[in-house]
Structure 1
Amino acid sequence: MTPIGRGDGADRAARELLDPQYAHEALLDRLYRYFNQFLGDLMDGVAGGGTAGGIIAAVIIVLILVAVATLVGWQLRKTGRRNAMTAGALFGARATTAAEHRQRAEQLADEGHWSEAVQERLRAIARDLEERALVDGMPGRTADELAAEAGAALPGFAAELTAAARSFDDVTYGGVAGTRDAYETMTALDERLRLARPAPMGGPA
């Protein structure tokens, strides 16, 4: 059998691609096949393309591998940051009003679920401040970020907001059990914040 040269092989591949059976091939399948053929040509170049051709083909393969590794690493870091933000976020995926958070907090408190009640009461505070445009509606906001931004808008409450954020973090991530006192402190802060107005620019806190 007469060996098939690279030129003849390329011609056969081109004629094969014109076959009507490939007209209905899915785009991803077609791209995958093109990519495999491209890699095959590069490997042929490494194996039998001479010194110069082999070096060029090897360099191209290395560059492709580096690009793939870089893309995978970037995607993993992006996913990790997103997961970290979600884990530390004050709110879940569903948008809930301040009134709904308060109702949920009161229900949990009546049932004696103090940790969850503390969480819901701080969420009520955060949503109320957003609804009144005292803080921005930032997705993935953490309790500490809320305390910092709300404390800038309402400096007279800065220390209490920081303490409330710490209480939220303790029951959410620190393994500290919520208590009635912690919930009542958070509730009292919520009630006073509902009546608070931001300090005028340049005015007293």
Structure 2
Amino acid sequence: MLRAADSSPLSWARSGSEPPVTVPRDPAREAARRELSKRLYHENDPSLFERALNAFWDRLGDVFGAASTAAPGGALGLTVIALAVAAVAAALWWRLGTPRRRPPSAAALFDDRPRSAADHRAAAEAHAAQGHWNQAVQERMRAIVRSLEERALLDTRPGRTADEAAAEAGHTLPAHTARLRSAAHDFDDVTYGGRTATEQAYQRIAGLDRDLDHTKPRLTTHSAPTAPQHTRQGTP
């Protein structure tokens, strides 16, 4: 039998009459480690992914716990703040749409089919009547630029972009510089940026088109050169 003074859990007796055999501490620990490392004891252990997921949720819980302590109103206040942020983000997404990167170089304003300003206006009005605001904005912007070319306020130059036309027209029509840039921006948004035009955007461009027709350009005046004065020489 085991001696009362022996407190080691890994002690065995060969028989009741023989002295006990005690396993040293280090070999016993190593034997226990080898035994517990067998697959039999780990069949129901969580996988690496499950352990990582549990650690993530524990960490997230700690973060929210700390935030709820610091936020006014505790957990309820934190919930209200989170809902407010989500509402603002949803409103911005609904208003601005999915952001898309504008290409580094915009394509030409006109295609290979030359048309007059009146043709572009008629096409714009036809699209607007059907509620096709993207096409209406595009055609009205083309009508503006074509009209300026017909009035010789812009030179007829193939390959010009809407931004270039707005910048050049602003030199001779300075009172409308900001509106011209805004119209070019709307044109680029619906043509290259994937945005959807609105009726209000079309009405702004159409109003600009009408105002430009009644605006006189600022002409650059150059002073006439002064005729050279000749010194009259007296007769000897």
Report the TM-score when normalising by structure 1.
Answer: 0.56
Q: 1:192 aligns with which of 207, 211, 214?
A: 211
Q: Quick one: which amino acid aligns to residue 120 of structure 2?
A: H
Alignment of 1:1-205 (within 5 A): 88-201=107-220
Deviations 1:1-28 (A, max 9, x none): xxxxxxxxxxxxxxxxxxxxxxxxxxxx
Distance in 1, Cα, partners of 2:105 & 2:125: 25
- Cα separation, partners in 2 of 1:188 and 1:146, compared to 1, 3 Å: same
> What is the count of residue pairs matched by the alignment?
120
Distance in 2, Cα, partners of 1:129 & 1:153: 10
- Structure possessing the higher relative contact order (Cα contacts under 8 Å, 6 or more residues apart): 1
Distance in 2, Cα, partners of 1:96 & 1:86: 24
**Does structure 1 retain, via aligned residues, the 8 Å contact 2:173–2:218?**
yes
Deviations 1:161-204 (A, max 9, x none): 0000000000001111011000000000000001111113269x
Distance in 1, Cα, partners of 2:177 & 2:107: 21
Distance in 1, Cα, partners of 2:150 & 2:169: 13
Amino-acid identity (%): 53
Distance in 2, Cα, partners of 1:135 & 1:146: 8
- Cα separation, partners in 2 of 1:89 and 1:103, compared to 1, 3 Å: same
Report deviation, 1:85. Answer: 11
Q: Which ranges of structure 2 fall in alignment gaps of 5 or more residues? A: 1-102, 223-236
Q: Which structure has more helix as a fraction of its residues?
A: 1
**Alignment RMSD (CA, Å):** 2.0
Report deviation, 1:145. Answer: 0.4
Report the TM-score when normalising by structure 2.
Answer: 0.49
Q: Quick one: which amino acid aligns to residue 135 of structure 1?
A: L
Tell me, what secondary structure is at the counterpart of 1:188? helix
Distance in 2, Cα, partners of 1:196 & 1:97: 19
Deviations 1:129-155 (A, max 9, x none): 000000111101000000011001111
Q: Quick one: which amino acid aligns to residue 180 of structure 1?
A: E
Distance in 2, Cα, partners of 1:159 & 1:120: 20
**Does structure 1 retain, via aligned residues, the 8 Å contact 2:109–2:142?**
yes
Q: Which ranges of structure 1 fall in alignment gaps of 5 or more residues? A: 1-83
Tell me, what secondary structure is at the counterpart of 2:189? helix
Q: Quick one: which amino acid aligns to residue 177 of structure 2?
A: A
Deviations 1:15-71 (A, max 9, x none): xxxxxxxxxxxxxxxxxxxxxxxxxxxxxxxxxxxxxxxxxxxxxxxxxxxxxxxxx
Question: In structure 1, what is the equivalent of residue 60 of structure 2?
Answer: none
